Amino acid sequence: MWLDRVGIPIVQAPLAGGASTPALTAAVLNAGAFGFLAAGYKTPETVAADITTLRTLTDSPYGLNIFVPDDDVDPGSFAPYLDEIAPEADRHGVTLGEPRYDDDAFGTKVELAVSERVPVVSFTFGCPEAAVIRLLHGAGSEVWVTVTDIQEAEAAVAAGADVLVAQGSEAGGHRGCFLDRTDREDYGLLVLLQLLTARTDVPVVATGGIGTGAAVAAVLTAGACAAQLGTAFLRCPEAGTSTPHRDALTRYGRTRLTRAFTGRSARGIENRFLSEHTSAAPVAYPQIHHATAPLRAAGRAAGDPDVLNLWAGQAYSLTDDKPAADLIADLSHELATALASASRRVREVGLD
Binding site for ligand FMN (CB under 6 A): 13-17, 19, 38, 40, 65, 124, 146, 167, 170-173, 176, 207-210, 228-232, 311-313, 315
Residue type, position 286, single letter: P
Q: How far is the CB of 145 from ligand FMN (least distance, A)?
A: 10
Taking the least distance from each CB to ligand FMN, the nearer of 82 and 232 is 232
Q: How far is the CB of 189 from ligand FMN (least distance, A)?
A: 9
Q: For residues 310 and 260, is the Cβ–Cβ distance under 8 A?
A: no
Burial of residue 342 (CB within 10 Å: 0-12, 13-18, 19+) is middle
DSSP letter for each residue of 192-218? HHHHHHHH--S-EEEESS--SHHHHHH
Q: How far is the CB of 241 from ligand FMN (least distance, A)?
A: 7
Buried-state track 116-140, b at ≥16 Cβ within 10 A, e below 16:
bebbbbbbbbbbbeeebbebbeebe
- Backbone φ and ψ for 146, nearest 5 degrees, come out as -75, 130
Q: For residues 331 and 325, is the Cβ–Cβ distance under 8 A?
A: no
Q: How far is the CB of 181 from ligand FMN (least distance, A)?
A: 19
Taking the least distance from each CB to ligand FMN, the nearer of 8 and 82 is 8
Task: Give CA 87 to chain center in angstroms.
Answer: 30
Q: How far is the CB of 24 from ligand FMN (least distance, A)?
A: 12
Taking the least distance from each CB to ligand FMN, the nearer of 176 and 299 is 176
Backbone CA torsion sign across 51, 55, 57, 63: positive
Taking the least distance from each CB to ligand FMN, the nearer of 193 and 232 is 232
Taking the least distance from each CB to ligand FMN, the nearer of 121 and 202 is 121
Neighbours of 279 (CB within 10 A): 9
Q: How far is the CB of 170 from ligand FMN (least distance, A)?
A: 6
Taking the least distance from each CB to ligand FMN, the nearer of 31 and 266 is 266
